Amino acid sequence: MATSPPLATGPGTPLQVTGNLGRVRQVVRLGHPVLRQRAEEVPAVRFGTRKLRDLAFDLVRTMHAASGVGLAAPQIAVPWRVFAYYVPADYGEEIPPRVLVNPVLTPLGTEQQEDWEGCLSVPGLRGLVPRFTQLAVEAYSVDGERVTFHAAGFHARVLQHEQDHLDGIVFLERMRSLQSLAFEAEWEQYASGKQP
């Protein structure tokens, strides 16, 4: 997901991945077929391998280089169910950069909220997207450790945006109406201060 917040740091967790390792990869844009296919589950034999660790480092490094708050493996043309994200402190609950493997998201309740999203693979555009406000999350760390947690608000929004990339979906399809679709410069001028 795209915004330009400050970088976050924090204490270590099984999911946490530093942004100082790995390399900056090219982010593919809408039109590249990898963004429209369902990504594959990472097989258990890949957990803890150099290949999966390098992917995690590359995702976090590329996410920061592109000033995003989330980046899914298909966005760097790797068709695996892996994504990186973080939540900056100014969105409430701060989550340091982390990587989820084979995540499964389950909405808790039916409540949804609309808010603005952008996407590194759909550069320059913003739109209002409804998302579930509460989620239960099950996933694995790159080392195969199973993790479960709950997410709410912006945290839940980022997770749903990145999870959609693993299923070949971009935020444009989630918009209730294309009426709010705006270029970033115009959005800054006319819409950024308005609550949805």
Question: Residue 89 has what DSSP assignment?
Answer: G
Rounded Cα distance, 40 and 61, in Å: 22
**194 CB neighbour count, 10 Å cutoff:** 9
Rounded Cα distance, 26 and 75, in Å: 8
What are residue 99's DSSP bridge partners?
A: 84
Q: Of 94, 162, 184, 188, which one is the catalytic site residue?
A: 162
Stretch that binds Zn ion, among 19-27, 77-85, 90-98, 114-122 (CB under 5 A): 114-122
162 given a catalytic annotation: yes
How far apart are CB 77 and Zn ion at their closest, in Å? 14
Q: How many residues bind Zn ion (CB under 5 A)?
A: 1
Q: Which two tokens stand for residue 52?
A: 């999966």
Stretch that binds Zn ion, among 55-63, 95-103, 113-121, 131-139 (CB under 5 A): 113-121
Interface with Zn ion, residue 142, by CB under 5 A = no
What are residue 7's DSSP bridge partners?
A: none
Binding mask 8-47 for Zn ion (x = CB under 5 A): ----------------------------------------
Do 102 and 42 meet the contact criterion of CB atoms below 8 Å apart? yes
User: Is the Cβ of residue 46 or residue 137 nearer to Zn ion in the bound state?
Assistant: 137
Among 60, 82, 84, 119, binds Zn ion (CB under 5 A): 119
User: Is the Cβ of residue 119 or residue 128 nearer to Zn ion in the bound state?
Assistant: 119
Q: What is the dihedral of CA 72, 116, 155, 134, to 10 degrees?
A: -110
Alpha helices in the chain (DSSP H): 50-65, 153-166, 171-174, 184-190
How far apart are CB 186 and Zn ion at their closest, in Å? 20
Best CA proximity match to 76, nearest among 46, 43, 32 = 32
User: Is the Cβ of residue 46 or residue 99 nearer to Zn ion in the bound state?
Assistant: 99
Q: Which residue is nearest to Zn ion (CB)?
A: 119
Q: Which residues are catalytic?
A: 162
Binding site for Zn ion (CB under 5 A): 119
